[in-house]
Amino acid sequence: MKEYVVKGMTCAACVRAVEKAASKVEGVSSPVVNLSTEKLTFELSGDFDEEKLFNLVKKAGYELEEVSKERIVTLEIDGMTCAACVSAVKKAVAKLEGVSEVSVNLATERATVKYDPDKLRISSIKEAIEKAGYRASAFTNSDSEQSRLKKEAAIKSYKQKFLVSIVFAIPLLIIAMGHMTGLKLPSFIDPHMNPLNFALVQLFLTLPIIIAGRDFYLKGIPNLFRGHPNMDTLVGLGTGAAFIYGVFATVQIASGYHNYAGDLYFESAGVIIALISLGKYFENLSRGKTSEAIRKLMNLAPKKALVKREERFVEIPLEEVEAGDVLLVKAGMSIPVDGTVIDGTASVDQSMLTGESIPVDVGEGSKVTGGTVNINGAIEIRASRVGSDTVLSKIIKMVEEAQASKAPIARLADTVSGYFVPFVLVVALVTFVSWIALGYGFTFSMSMTIAVLVIACPCALGLATPTAIMVATGRGAGMGILFKNGEALETTHKVDAVIFDKTGTITRGKPQLVDFKVLNGFTEKEAARLVASIASRSSHPLDRAILDGYEGDLLQVSDFQAVAGGGISATINGGKVKLGNPGFIGTTGKEVDELVRSLSELGKTPVVASYDEKAMAVLGIADVIKDSSVRAIEKLKRSGVETYMMTGDNERTARAIAAQVGVDRVIAEVMPQHKAEKVGQLKEKGFTVAMVGDGINDSPALAAADVGIAIGSGTDIAIEAADVVLMKDDLNDVVNSINLSKATIRNIKQNLFWAFFYNTIGIPVAAGLFYTALGLRLNPMIAGAAMAFSSVSVVMNALRLKRIKI
């Protein structure tokens, strides 16, 4: 069996056209096209000409793509500490045969790999990662809680390491440096009276700190020999060199060379490890806050549900609920799954999912979403979507995927980090050799080298982009704006042209009666009753709109007839009532003609009613504009974004609607299959285009745009094709999504600037570049504190996005 993706289909006619084209190709047997999955499948019955198939389908107005066999796996990576680790994992996986794409995220500690299962197994990917010095395990959504617990354990571990380190580092620092500040030490550890005791006490105080920071040596040093040095390598080499030199100096003191007591460097090793442990604790604590949005979403769904079993409701675990089950939701309870109300009424709070603060009243036949809260009343619902198929589960998956993805702007940091640590090692070596050559001695040269190794941490570089993306996507989810990936989040800030679909996007998508003008002596009450009575017998959308706008009792209707494209007629109260377009009604007079024309010019659909061939009323029916449309378009125009409205309506109606909402330009009379072409034409002019839509017919245009924005109340196909999903039916969120993207990119650029600036300034100072001219020298302990602060500052800056005004 062969399978292809079909692009450009919008309706059943498209399905027939593709099937017809495919059936003309020799070797193709029983072609079947599925509109919902947008796929063509068929059996092979002989030699098959694929090129001919592609050409025939293209001639029919559609495009084919081969279905990719590639799979995507998400792996949780243990042991990554900086951007160099990210680069090492990425390189180890990317060189495997069968891997087409790999993305590694330091903030989420996950790798996403796209690979060909015919050429590669997941076990081989894990093995490559482990050879690079890290641990990998497959990750699924069900592992989120376990992952959270693992991160909490990591935070606790760093806290314990810091506490152990600081308990010993404080007395170590006092003993090592106190006598230099005038602090008198007890005689038995005074460096002038008992230099050996002075050294031994520092050695024994440093040992527990070294043990607490053993990961720097057990992980960092081996990574150097694997060819993937990272932050742990730099810290391990720097503090390890200081410690080993201290041990050497202690041996020398024991041998009678008391002059070594002046520079032991135990305090440098101990205090640096303590400060870095503190930095890692705060960094992990802050990074834990970046995924709060996911945890809040996951906590929306209850763990158990009341399900009907043999005429009574029993409590069962949520994962055991199946589609078709009847559930009871009492006041105050969260709705467990997506479903339809079959009994009872209630007010439902949807704010956590949509951001809409006003509760929604639901009753029999109403759709409800899992994770929303029943404020009052009791309802019975029939489950329609359970498990991973619920809206809440899909939102969680979408946000997780967005947080795990990388924005294109991150490529710069990825590229730099691959060369950064080796560069630092070379600088450290050159620093040591240079100062030795200049005659400054081993101790001074060692101090400069340690400072270089410790200050040049690439942590800030690796965290700059992913933390900002995590916080921003979480903030967006809380506002009801779902970015599907980092690329969408980045591209949105460049948008300078927005195309709005009309029906269901700018307008409500449901006709409403907005004008009712009576004529020829009829009263409004009398005419409305007659019109509503005849409309009640019709299922036409315009007639349903008329009936929805009427409150009152109806009259008996007989001899009802409907004329396609014209209108309806019936006998009511012994008279002939007709309702339809002016042509169907017949000669109506000048006043009716003027009313019809004025309504048409305003973009409304005119409907005329007559009684016994006498014009009774002229009705104006319109697809009412959403309250948010005018405000949103005004905000976009103020920010310099060009606005377009695209519709299949005639030019006059489209321009009337556009004038009401203030849209700059109108693209009217566009067939669904041509919407993507219009988007392409605008892109060719140099615009970064966002397409906003809600229907199946919008999906090709959503996919063709630089940023596709789907209204959450729209179809699943439209949502699937989009890059951004708006959970609220509010076009102001189009503006908010652009503003959030701008704020995020601004935040990322700030992070990257400070990460690069910090290292650009810090490394030369640590290497002593300004020492001979200005006497400027960086103590290794200060370098350690600065390194720890750099990572924390980047994460804290990213966390500002949680509170920034959009």
Element (H, E) at 402: helix 391-404
Region at 804 (left for phi over 0; alpha for psi -120 to 50; beta for the rest): beta
Region at 347 (left for phi over 0; alpha for psi -120 to 50; beta for the rest): beta
* SS3 category, 680: helix
Cα distance between residue 269 and residue 210, in whole Å: 8
The first and second tokens of residue 221, run together, are 């040093």
Rounding to the nearest 10 degrees, give the CA dihedral for residues 568, 571, 575, 577: -10
Amino acid identity, position 74? T
The first and second tokens of residue 662, run together, are 């203030």
Total Cβ atoms within 10 A of residue 423: 13
Q: Which of 801, 790, 785 is nearest to 747 (CA)?
A: 801
Q: Which of 709, 699, 744 is nearest to 730 (CA)?
A: 709
Q: Which residues lie across from 361 on neighbouring strands?
A: 347
Cα distance between residue 534 and residue 560, in whole Å: 8
Cα distance between residue 546 and residue 543, in whole Å: 5
Residue 484: C-alpha distances to residues 42, 705, 800 (Å): 32, 15, 21
Is 392:371 a contact under the CB 8 Å cutoff? yes
Cα distance between residue 794 and residue 798, in whole Å: 6
Cα angle 786, 792, 795; round to 5? 145
Cα distance between residue 790 and residue 468, in whole Å: 15
Cα distance between residue 104 and residue 90, in whole Å: 6
Q: Backbone phi, then psi, for 621, in 5-degree steps?
A: -115, 135
- HSE at residue 599, side-chain half, CA atoms within 13 A, is 24
Is 589:615 a contact under the CB 8 Å cutoff? yes
* Pairing of the two strands 567-572 and 39-44: unpaired
Q: Is 501 a catalytic residue?
A: yes
Question: How remote is the C-alpha of 551 from its chain's centroid?
Answer: 46
Cα distance between residue 216 and residue 231, in whole Å: 8
Annotated catalytic residue: which of 501, 543, 623, 706? 501
Is 708:721 a contact under the CB 8 Å cutoff? yes
Looking up tokens 């099937």 gives: 19
For the chain, helix (H) and strand (E) counts, in that order, are 29, 30
Q: Which of 582, 586, 589, 608 is nearest to 515 (CA)?
A: 608
* SS3 category, 519: coil
DSSP 801: G
Question: What's the sign of the alpha-carbon dihedral 334, 335, 341, 343?
Answer: negative
Cα distance between residue 653 and residue 744, in whole Å: 39
Q: Backbone phi, then psi, for 680, in 5-degree steps?
A: -60, -40
Cα distance between residue 407 and residue 484, in whole Å: 11
Q: Backbone phi, then psi, for 569, in 5-degree steps?
A: -145, 155
Cα angle 292, 295, 297; round to 5? 110
Residues forming the active site? 501
